[in-house]
Amino acid sequence: MKLDSRLEYGLYAALLAIAVAFPFLASNEYQVYVMALAFIWAIAAMGLNIIVGYTGQLNLAHAGFMAIGAYTVGLLTVDYGVPFWIAFLLAGPLAALLGFLGGLLSLRLKTHFFSIFTLCVGYIIYLLIEKWDTLTHGTVGVIGIPAPSPIGPFTFDNTRSVYFLVLAFLVLAIFVKRRIVRSLVGRSFVAIRNSDELAEALGINLMRTKVLAFTLSTFYAGLAGGLFAGFVRFLGPDLAREYHTFDMVAFVLVGGIGTLMGPVLGAIALTWITQSLQFLETYRMIVFGPLLILLVMFWPNGIIGTYTRWQARRRESGGAASAAKRKSKELHDEARANV
Amino acid sequence: MSEIIIETRALTKRFGGLNAVKDVDARIERGKITAIIGPNGAGKTTFFNLVSGTFPLTSGELRFEGEKVDGKRPDEMARLGIARTFQTTSLFDGATVMDNLIVGHRLRTRSGLFDAIFQTARLREDERICRDKAEEALDFVGLRHIANRLAADVTQEERKRIAFALALATDPKVLLLDEPAGGVNPEETAGLADLIRKMAASGLTICLIEHKMDMVMGLADHIIVLDHGVKIADGSPGEIRSNPLVIEAYLGAGHDAAA
């Protein structure tokens, strides 16, 4: 166990080192931009993973809540002159508040009924943003969102500096999520995913626990949205569209559903695969689709899930093998003593 | 005089026009093994679902330790001390047996999201208690040696024992076991029966649904027979064995005439 956690921290440190070095190794600014955007989607996908991966409720309104966070920052800074960081601090909580209310309503439904309902909730959020143009600028979108204002000596006026800001939030998001999913709270989520009938028989309050997971996931979505607004600095209603949710579902599936780092790896991997298939233009889906199908067929637990299962089996059989070895040594010693 | 821990009076559940359970009076004694038997569709599992709070009663009364408990949710019933197992146990196959069991004692802990994010002393204490409980339960059912095995890799019989361990980890007073020996071979069935006896001997009240008559007759102190949602008999294994109504329910009317 000790060696495992040392290995785990080593892996985290290596990943962090690569992430920190990336802007200095990248051949152009565009690559840094793409990576930072992948990190933002990773934060949102981590939120989606809390409700979909850990709690087992396929929420399809996730992009809508990300848009709520993004528009909180966009509209407050552009139309109401609110300083960036104050607007940013409101993005997560506002998305979470609406997520709490939406969760109370939608979580009365189960399985695919819940998914269809949330698909509609997401679409309603999109329509509200698109049609309520006196508040949201409608299809014109929100233009001229200010860059994050400087914090002390740190300024965020170029891509590289915002990259590091986004990376800092990604690290924080991973850290907090790790604590949550490994705690008894996270175990309650997983119990519901396995079987809500069994979870309830174990004394877990289903509604309260699911609403908590939903609220948490929308907080992550809002936070990612706020970062998106400060990074891209332009917003359109399409951000709330369902295809962004499906992208995030793909990130979660590829990386490993219900794993800590899965959505992060999934977001980064798929972003770069999409980028590298860019030359195929619209035909890239012909490559991309079968690739995704193969992955879900042969690695249904995603990259991380497949790895952790393999590791757990190896550890268990290793333990059994060393026990057998001890046993045979004992027998051997006993036999010698008898002689 | 023995003490009654669960008592139902005229317990009734109607689904549309169907009486799944009708006017059942049942008394379950503390510390004893009570079996619910009956042909398929007799309402046994529905009876469990009513006692554990999964379904609301259509009418009648349900008392636990003398208190009226009808209308409570399953999680509230679990907190009162009624644990149950299901015909099939869904475990998280990607985690170890131990990891699957830790959540079993969650209902007796109070740490929440704040404790999780800030890793408070309360959370650490709660997690230690849950882990200890899980280990204790795993020891009790005799599966300590597979604590670190993936749940995907356990046998059907081990899965049944894990289901018992999960229920035990909730610190129950009553255990409702739905077909505890379903799908395991005769040798393993005997082992599970021993385990059920051991649970009763440790002071737990056991109520089980089972189709394997040998097991029921050898295990139960008291048997309640349901047929078409109605209680047709109630008594010791010996009394049930010779009850003509029970024989008729199992073998069909006209059996005597044919014989």
Query: Which pLDDT score is estimated for A324?
Result: 55
Map tokens 């309830």 to a residue.
A200
B84 neighbors B52 (Cβ within 8 angstroms): yes
Which ipTM was obtained for this model? 0.88
Same domain, yes or no, for A186 and A210? yes
Closest CB to B113 among A185, A201, A315: A185
Query: Which pLDDT score is estimated for A114?
Result: 94
Q: What is the pLDDT along chain A (339 residues), one digit of tens a residue?
A: 445 678 888 888 999 999 999 989 988 989 999 999 999 999 999 999 999 999 999 999 999 999 999 999 999 999 998 999 999 999 999 999 999 999 999 999 998 999 999 999 999 999 999 999 889 988 888 988 898 888 888 888 888 899 999 999 999 999 999 999 999 999 999 999 999 999 999 999 999 999 999 999 999 999 999 999 999 999 999 999 999 999 999 999 988 888 899 999 999 998 888 888 877 777 877 887 888 888 888 888 888 888 888 877 787 776 555 555 555 555 555 555 444
* Nearest residue to A310 via CA among B38, B152, B184: B152
Same domain, yes or no, for A186 and A333? no
Closest CB to A319 among B52, B103, B148: B148
Render pLDDT for A175-187 as a digit per residue (tens, 0 to 9). 999 999 999 999 9
Render pLDDT for B99-141 as a digit per residue (tens, 0 to 9). 999 999 999 999 899 999 999 999 999 999 999 999 999 999 9
Same domain, yes or no, for A324 and A216? no
Domain boundaries, given as residue ranges, for chain B: 1-81+172-182+200-259, 91-171
Laid out side by side, the sheet with B18-29 consists of B18-29, B4-15, B59-64, B67-68
Count the Cβ atoms, other than its own, within 10 Å of residue A30: 11
Query: Which pLDDT score is estimated for A281?
Result: 75
Is A4 domain-assigned?
no
CATH number for the domain harbouring residue A270: 1.10.3470
Query: Which pLDDT score is estimated for A294?
Result: 86
The number of folded domains in chain A is 2
Is A48 domain-assigned?
yes
Same domain, yes or no, for A201 and A141? yes
Query: Which pLDDT score is estimated for A325?
Result: 55
Range of the domain at A265: 14-300
CATH 3.30.460.10 correct for B1-81+172-182+200-259 = no
- pLDDT value at B34 more than 50: yes
Query: Which pLDDT score is estimated for A331?
Result: 52
- pLDDT value at B66 more than 60: yes
Identify any residues that bridge with B29 across adjacent strands, giving them in sequence order: B4
Query: Which pLDDT score is estimated for A329?
Result: 53
Is A3 domain-assigned?
no
Render pLDDT for B69-110 as a digit per residue (tens, 0 to 9). 988 999 999 999 999 999 888 888 888 999 999 999 999 999
Same domain, yes or no, for A330 and A227? no
Mean pLDDT across B231-250: 88
pLDDT band at B257 (very low <50, low <70, confident <90, very high): very low
SS (H, E, C) A223-249: HHHHHHHHHHCEECHHHHCHHHHHHHH
Is A6 domain-assigned?
no
Which is more confident, A126 or B1?
A126
Same domain, yes or no, for A264 and A314? no
Helix (H) or strand (E) holding A28: none
* Nearest residue to B221 via CA among B202, B249, B201: B201
Alpha helices in chain A (DSSP H): 2-25, 29-49, 62-80, 84-106, 111-131, 133-136, 159-182, 184-194, 196-201, 206-232, 242-255, 262-276, 284-298, 302-338
Is A8 domain-assigned?
no
Same domain, yes or no, for A137 and A42? yes
Same domain, yes or no, for A62 and A137? yes
Q: Closest residue of A to B114, CA-based?
A: A180
* Rounded-to-integer distance, Cα B245 and Cα B229, Å: 14
Mark yes or no for CB contact A200/B91 under 8 Å: no
Is A140 domain-assigned?
yes
- Contacts A316 to B, Cβ<8 Å: 96, 148-150, 153
Query: Which pLDDT score is estimated for A124?
Result: 95
Mutate to test the interface with A, among B75, B101, B133, B158 (most CBs of A within 10 A): B75
- Contacts A179 to B, Cβ<8 Å: 116-117, 119
* Nearest residue to B163 via CA among B97, B214, B210: B97
Is A104 domain-assigned?
yes
Rg of chain A over all Cα atoms, to the nearest angstrom: 23
B54 touches chain A (CB under 8 A): yes
What average pLDDT is seen over chain B?
A: 90
Mark yes or no for CB contact A191/B106 under 8 Å: yes
Render pLDDT for A137-176 as a digit per residue (tens, 0 to 9). 888 889 888 988 888 888 888 888 999 999 999 999 999 9
Same domain, yes or no, for A274 and A125? yes
Query: Which pLDDT score is estimated for A3?
Result: 52
Render pLDDT for B160-204 as a digit per residue (tens, 0 to 9). 999 999 999 999 999 999 999 888 999 999 999 999 999 999 999
B73 touches chain A (CB under 8 A): yes
